[in-house]
């Protein structure tokens, strides 16, 4: 499986490496980092070589510890031999040893010598995305309602950008998606604006794929100007889990996700990765968990609140190493739809959004926001 970045670091600098990984992955950069991405039971050196071979860029967390590490030198040498660009992120003001300088003395360095580290990591993320040509605009979710996360609102205050986290199997929290960006307005709908074009009265569905999840949205609009939206995200695949670390592979696309897990009391397991945390509990009562080696078989559920919207998460892990994940959320509110213009106000978030629409045929409507059109089909 290809990665965007391989993170090379000394074990003494693990905190900085983990922060770097989290910052990059939150910006949409796929990272390989040890020991997280080493399958339990795999030979360490072989896994490192495979990780480097499947990455597009190496980031070297450069410090006095890295400078003296034979393992770091071997990793850098491997990257150079494969023609993989190296970006040294210098966290201490020192010069590389002669053996490292031979490989990285002529490349561009990024200094992270002064706090805060987060500012340097943002610059690093932009550099990597430019180098590997990753779109800097996060994807959006296809809905007529608003589900904005605080982080997304602070990044683009004039646009609605949802960032709903979902969890799949011992699976990582993933970012939610969107087909268009909706302009946010703070004014609620007035009674005079509550007209509804008969074209959009009824139930419509939209299907898409994002982040390798299958998304299905059902939108119902009533003649009285109220709406309900139900959205689900699903994934099937296989998983491996041991010693508090897991890895999943989606069956359709081969997408790999990794993270950690541990028991939280006798009947709950916390799943964590760079995107967030959720606590799962069994759907049916089970024997108390082994606190040192919890097993998450059968159906488990969690609830996650993001941007004022509640997601119900369900994961079914089977003994044969396969899983089925589903995340489900509902939204409702009021809407005005007339003269090819629409506007909705969510009763859950209190936010409003606007856009345009047009009939494609007797059963299909094209809904358009600032990121372009999407097709909804009458049910």
Q: What is the pLDDT of residues 136-167, one digit of tens each?
A: 443 332 223 333 332 323 333 222 222 222 33
Q: Got the DSSP string for 293-330?
A: S----EEEEEEEEETTEEEEEEEEE-TTSEEEEEEEEE
Pairing of strands 202-210, 166-167: unpaired
How far is residue 62's CA from residue 69's CA, in Å, rounded to a whole number?
Answer: 10
In a domain, 350, yes or no: no
Q: Say yes or no: 200 and 307 in one domain.
A: yes
Q: Render pLDDT for 209-262 as a digit per residue (tens, 0 to 9).
A: 877 789 999 999 999 999 999 999 999 999 988 888 888 888 887 888 888 899
The pair of three-digit structure tokens given for residue 137, joined into one six-digit string: 């605009």
In three-state secondary structure terms, 190 is coil
Contacts 24+ apart (CB under 8 A), 124-130: 124/20, 124/23, 124/24, 124/59, 124/87, 124/89, 125/23, 125/24, 125/27, 125/29, 126/27, 127/87, 128/4, 128/5, 128/24, 128/29, 128/57, 128/59, 128/87, 129/27, 129/28, 129/29
Q: Are the C-beta atoms of residues 252 and 42 closer than 8 Å to each other?
A: no
In this structure, is residue 166 part of a structural domain? yes
Q: Residues 185-206: pLDDT tens digits? A: 333 334 344 579 999 999 999 9
203 shares a domain with 157: yes
- Do residues 75 and 213 both lie within one domain? no
User: Which one of 132, 161, 177 terminates a domain?
Assistant: 132
Same domain, 166 and 105: no
CATH of the domain at 126: 3.40.50.10140
What pLDDT shows up at residue 32? 94
**Tally of domains in the chain:** 2
Q: Does residue 292 fall inside a structural domain?
A: yes
> Are residues 236 and 120 part of one domain?
no
Residue 336 lies in a domain: no
State whether 176 and 205 are in the same domain. yes
Q: Are residues 103 and 179 in the same domain?
A: no
In a domain, 103, yes or no: yes
pLDDT of residue 33: 94
Asked, for residue 196, whether it belongs to a domain, the answer is yes
174 in the same domain as 113: no
Range of the domain at 285: 150-330
Given a cut of 70, the residues of the chain with pLDDT beneath it are: 1, 105-108, 133-194, 274-276, 306-308, 369-372
Residue 113 and residue 22 share a domain: yes
Is the domain of 127 the same as that of 154? no
Q: Is residue 200 part of a domain?
A: yes
Same domain? For 233 and 289 the reply is yes
Q: Which residue has the tokens 């509902």?
A: 330
Same domain? 157 vs 200: yes
How many other CB atoms are there within 10 angstroms of residue 258's CB atom? 21
Q: What is the pLDDT of residue 298?
A: 92
Distance CA 109, CA 89 (A): 6
pTM of the model: 0.52
Whether residue 369 lies inside any domain: the answer is: no
SS3 assignment, position 88: strand
């Amino acid at each position: 499986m290809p990665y965007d970045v391989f993170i090379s670091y000394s074990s003494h600098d693990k905190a900085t490496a983990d922060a770097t990984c989290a910052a990059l992955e939150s910006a949409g950069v796929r990272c390989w980092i040890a020991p997280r991405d080493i399958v339990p039971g795999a030979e360490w050196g072989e896994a490192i070589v495979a990780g480097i071979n499947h990455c597009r860029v190496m980031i070297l967390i450069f410090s006095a510890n890295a400078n003296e590490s034979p393992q770091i030198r071997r990793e850098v040498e491997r990257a150079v031999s494969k023609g993989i660009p190296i970006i040294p992120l210098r966290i201490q003001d020192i010069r590389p040893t002669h053996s490292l300088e031979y490989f990285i003395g002529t490349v561009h360095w990024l200094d992270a010598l002064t706090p805060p580290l987060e500012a340097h990591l943002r610059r690093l993320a932009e550099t990597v995305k430019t180098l590997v040509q990753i779109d800097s605009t996060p994807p959006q979710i296809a809905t007529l309602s608003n589900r904005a996360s605080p982080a997304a609102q602070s990044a683009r205050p004039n646009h609605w950008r949802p960032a709903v986290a979902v969890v799949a199997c011992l699976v990582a929290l993933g970012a939610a998606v969107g087909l268009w960006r909706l302009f946010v307005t703070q004014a609620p709908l007035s009674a005079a604006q509550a007209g509804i074009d008969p074209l959009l009265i009824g139930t419509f569905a939209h299907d898409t794929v994002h982040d390798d999840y299958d998304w299905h949205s059902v939108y119902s609009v009533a003649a009285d100007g109220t709406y309900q939206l139900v959205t689900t995200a699903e994934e099937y695949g296989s998983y491996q889990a041991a010693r508090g670390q897991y890895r999943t592979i989606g069956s359709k696309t081969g997408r790999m996700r990794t993270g950690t897990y541990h028991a939280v009391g006798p009947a709950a397991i916390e799943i964590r990765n760079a995107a967030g945390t959720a606590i799962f509990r069994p759907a049916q009562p089970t024997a108390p968990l082994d606190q040192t080696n919890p097993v998450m078989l059968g159906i488990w559920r969690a609830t996650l609140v993001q941007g004022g919207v509640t997601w119900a998460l369900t994961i079914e892990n089977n003994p044969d190493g396969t899983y089925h994940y589903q995340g489900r959320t509902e939204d409702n509110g009021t809407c005005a739809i007339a003269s090819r213009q629409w506007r909705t106000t969510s009763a859950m978030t209190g936010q409003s959004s606007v856009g345009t629409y047009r009939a494609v045929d007797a059963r299909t409507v094209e809904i358009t926001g600032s990121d372009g059109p999407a097709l909804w089909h009458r049910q």
